[in-house]
Structure 1
C-alpha cells in the first residue's frame, strides 16, 4: 500500500505554496485564492486521493470544522426541516453539524450545550429559548452563537420568520369570507413563536374593530393536538360560538378538527380552521388545512450562513424571513 498523500504533495503537484493549497481546499477560505488556482489545487487533491488530517488541521487552525445545532425536539417536523437547512449549508462549507435535542427542558439544554462546547465546536446554532443568558455567555467567551426560529432579549444574530404578517393575512382572509366571530387557540409558553402569534392576533383584531377579549382567546402551556382539542372544548363549554378558529400551529388546528368531528360538526361548514407552520402532511387532511407556511428549512440555511459569516470575521445582522399564506379547503364563508 502506498504512502498516504499529504497537503505538501498536493501543493507540489499543483505548483503552489503549501499555505495556498490549504486555503484553496477549505470552503471558508477558498475565496481568498483565484478560481483558477482553486481548480488546480482541487484537481491535484483528487488525482492524489488526498484526504485532510482533521486532527492536525484543528491543531493548526484552532478550528474543529464542527457546529453544534440545538433543537427542542429532534422528532418534531419543524426541527427536522430546520436542521436539514442548516446541514445543507454546513456541508457545502466543509463543516459537520452535531445535532442535540433538549426536550424543551432547561437542565437538558444546559448539559447538551456544555457537551458541545467541551467538544470545541466552532459555533452554535440554537433553536431554543430556555437559557438565553447562557447563549450570551458562550458568545462572549469566543464561541459564536446564532439563534434560529427563536428570539430572546439578546444582541445575538437571530433568524426568524414574520409570522405576525401571516396572522394578519389569516384574519383578513376570514374577514373577506364574511367571518366576524373569530377565535384564537395557541400556546402560552416561553417561546416567542407562540407569544408573537397571540400578540399579532389581538393587535390585528383590534385594528379591524373586532372582539379580541378573553372570550375569543384560549391559551395553553402545551402546543400539541391534545392541547388544541382541550382549548377548543373549553371555549365551547364557556359559551364561545366562533365561526372560525386560528390556531397557533397546525397540530393544535388538528385538535380543533377532532373536536368538531366528535360533536358531529363539520369543517368548514360549521367552523373554518386555519393553522400555522404548514407541516408536510397538512394538505392531505380532510379537509386540507388552510395555514401559514413558515420556511423552516430556509431559516436553518440562513442561520448557518450567518454563523459562517461570523467565522469569517463578519458581523451579520438579524433576519426575518417572509411567510406565505396558503389557502386550502378548511376555510369557507360562514353558514349563518
Structure 2
C-alpha cells in the first residue's frame, strides 16, 4: 500500500509506532537514496483507517521543524502521558554527520519540539525507547564514531554495539559487546529488555533491573532468529497478543547490495526479502526465554515490500514498513476490516 502526504510519496519508512488507543501510527521516514543535503525526511501521522484503501494519505507532523543539519529521523518511540498527550522521541542522524535525539510533544496533529539531547555516546544511536517521560534507553549499532570505525567493525565482525541510558541529562552505558545493537523493547513489568543483535541473528534478553543497577556484565539470554533482527515491537490483540515482533533480514549481504549497490555502479536494485517473526510465548502470553523460538508469520520475496525494517500489530494483523520503500505491507485483515479467524499457523498472506 502506497503512503503519500500532500500527494507526494512518503519514502523510507524506517520505523513506526502504532497508537492503539487513537487508531493511528507515527512514521519515521528518511530517503536514504537522496543526496544528503536534499534528503527528505520527517515524522508523519497516519490514520490506520486509511489502510482499508489502495493508498494511505499521511500528514507531515514535522514540516515546521528545521534544525541545523536537517532532520533525518531514524529509530523512534511514543509514550502516552497521564493527561492524554503523547511524547515522542526520534533519533536524528543529521546530514552533517552527528547524531542526536529530538524530544517532542504530540497533541492531535500538533507536534512541538521540546529539546535536543546531545552526547558523544549518541554518535551511532540506532533506536530509542521510553522508560519514563524524561528517561529513555537507546542502542548504538557500533562502538566507534564515523564511517571508518564502523566499517572496520563490520569487516572484522567486531561486537562493539551497546545499550545506553539517558536520565536527567546524563548518559551512560548499560550493556556492551553487542553485534550491531538495533531495535530495543523494554518490558518493565516483566523486568526484561529485548535487544536486536543484527549481526548475531539473535534477540538478546536482559534483566532490566540489573542493567539499571549497573550490572552490565550480566550475560543475556539469547533467542535465535532466522536472520538479522531490526526493529522490535509488542503485539497487542489477536492471536499474537503479548508476543514480541521482529523484522529480520534473511541475508545481510543482499540487504547491503539493495541499499548501497548504486554506490558501486549497480543500477538494478534487486529487491531483498521481507521476513517478520514472532517470538514464542508461554501460556500467560509472555515471551518465554528458556524455550523461546521465532515463528515466521510473514514472508515476502521483496516485490511487495523490500527488506522490512519494522513491524507492528494492529487489530490482530500486522503493518510493516521499510527504510527503502514508500509502501506499507498490511497483513492479516480483510479489506472490509474483519479480522481473519484462521490464526497464524502459517505465514500470513500480504496484500
- Smaller-chain TM-score range? under 0.3
Greater Cα radius of gyration, structure 1 or 2: 1
User: Could you tell me the TM-score, scaled by structure 1's length?
Assistant: 0.24
Higher relative contact order (Cα pairs below 8 Å, separated by 6+ residues): 1
Higher percent of residues as strand: 2
Higher percent of residues as helix: 1
User: Could you tell me the TM-score, scaled by structure 2's length?
Assistant: 0.24
